[in-house]
Structure 1
Amino acid sequence: MSAEHRAAPPAAARIPRCARGARGYDVGQVDAFLGAVQEALDGAGPGSGGRPAALLSTHVRSVLFTAVRGGYRPEAVDELLDAAEDALAAAEREQVLRTRGPAAWQEHVDALTEVVRGRIERPRTQRFRRPSRSRAQGYSAAHVDVLCERLGARLAGSAPLEPAELRGAVLPPAHGERSYEEQQVDAFLDRAVQLLLALR
């Protein structure tokens, strides 16, 4: 197993906790999830027989933890989750290359690229749906469009863009014609992160 696979999140005992009265992520839930990440990484080596892991990199971005008093500090856990997603994505790439070959991996990358390009190549202000209700809040279309254009430049090889920049992107709220539906944008950003990890 490569050193990259071993780059698993640190032991849960090292995650700082919130002050007693402050709310953080539920300790038991975080520990269980990070344990599942470690199991997936440990089982991703050449001896796995080509079996797909039960936990995939795409699952990391959708995990939710209950807020409890005295739990783990969210920013510390979020940093570990980013590292977990990176490590799982690298393990998945190695497994596909090992069991199915480079052509299969390139096919996967090409399919992701087609989906992402199909969205970012649309005209500005028309890349995503508007919120279903006129007064509903969405993301600022202008800010989302700038992010899409940065992603397009990354795919064209003319500018850098790291997955962490998409994960941490702050998109101001907006309404009406100046906004995009949050759910659709979030789903797209998940796919864009997946693509950037695949391109590493």
Structure 2
Amino acid sequence: MHDDAQPAGRSLFPRVADDEFGYEPAQVERFLQRARATYETALPDDEVVTSAVVRRTTFDPARGGYEPREVDAALDRLEDVFAARERNAIIESEGHDRWIEGIAQVSGVLRARLHRAPGERFRRPSRGGVSSYAIADVDALCDRLLEYFEQDVPLSVDDVRRATFGRATGEEGYEENQVDAFLDRTIELMASID
């Protein structure tokens, strides 16, 4: 038996088997209600959902919870809707040229990092023995991003969202937080352009 806001059989998303872990249904539903409220009305600043908030949202695991792939796909679509809305608000308030200037500025910062030599694009963890990302895997994605930004080689924002990297330890890899922050900014840019 599932203990959440939706009656049995009326779930927002398919569920995993009772002995498997999915996303906590009540958390997913509360977040989606908050997102809907943001889209439809003005909320206090601390409750507003933005594309960045959608991208960073996580849910606790729960036995028999919502199927993660289904929820993640819905969140990706929701992020795209909010990114388009944010882009349109900037264009409406500041003009198309100002929006283009902002895109060019962010793109320039991202491309500067991408132009660094492979193996030198991100810092190494300062502590030994901590988990880090495999350098070759991150650099491969960086090469694809550089082609996307400078040669118009197709790459979807979902390809970046779903990127995974092999594990490394300490200085054998790139620091996870720095790579994640870079990818977060990249996704934000790509979502606002598309």
Q: TM-score range by the shorter chain?
A: 0.7 to 0.9
Tell me if the contact between 1:41 and 1:91 (Cα under 8 Å) persists in the aligned partners: no
Specify the SS of the correspondent of 1:24.
strand
Q: Secondary structure at the match of 1:197?
A: helix
Which residue matches 1:5?
A: none
Following the alignment from structure 1 to structure 2, what is the Cα–Cα distance between the partners of residues 114 and 76?
34
Does structure 1 conserve the Cα–Cα contact (< 8 Å) formed by 2:126 and 2:170? no
Matched, 1:104 2:102: no
Please point out which of 147, 165, 176 is paired with 1:182. 176
The one-letter amino acid of 1:107's match is: E
Deviation at 1:105, TM superposition (A): 1.1
Select the residue among 129, 142, 151 that pairs with 1:148: 142
Paired with 2:26 and 2:120, the residues of 1 have a C-alpha distance of 43
* Unaligned runs of at least 5 residues, structure 1: 1-11
- 1:127-154: CA deviation from partner (whole Å, max 9, x where unpaired): 1011222322211111111111110110
Q: CA deviation at 1:176?
A: 4.5
Is 1:95 the counterpart of 2:89? The answer is yes
State the TM-score, normalized to the length of structure 2: 0.86
SS at match of 1:156: helix
Letter in 1 for 2:18: R
Structure 2 unpaired stretches of 5+: 1-9
Identify the residue that residue 73 of structure 1 maps to in structure 2. Answer: 67
Identity of aligned residues (%): 38
Output aligned runs, 1:109-188, within 5 Å. Answer: 109-188=103-182
Q: How many angstroms apart in 1 are the aligned matches of 2:189 and 2:160?
A: 11
Q: In 2, Cα distance between the equivalents of 1:158 and 1:91?
A: 24
- Residues 51-76 of structure 1, C-alpha deviation per residue, up to 9 Å, x if partnerless? 9x921101112112111122111111
Does the CA-based 8 Å contact 1:131-1:181 persist in structure 2?
yes
Letter in 2 for 1:36: R
CA-based RMSD: 1.9
Partners of 2:38 and 2:70 lie apart in 1 by 21
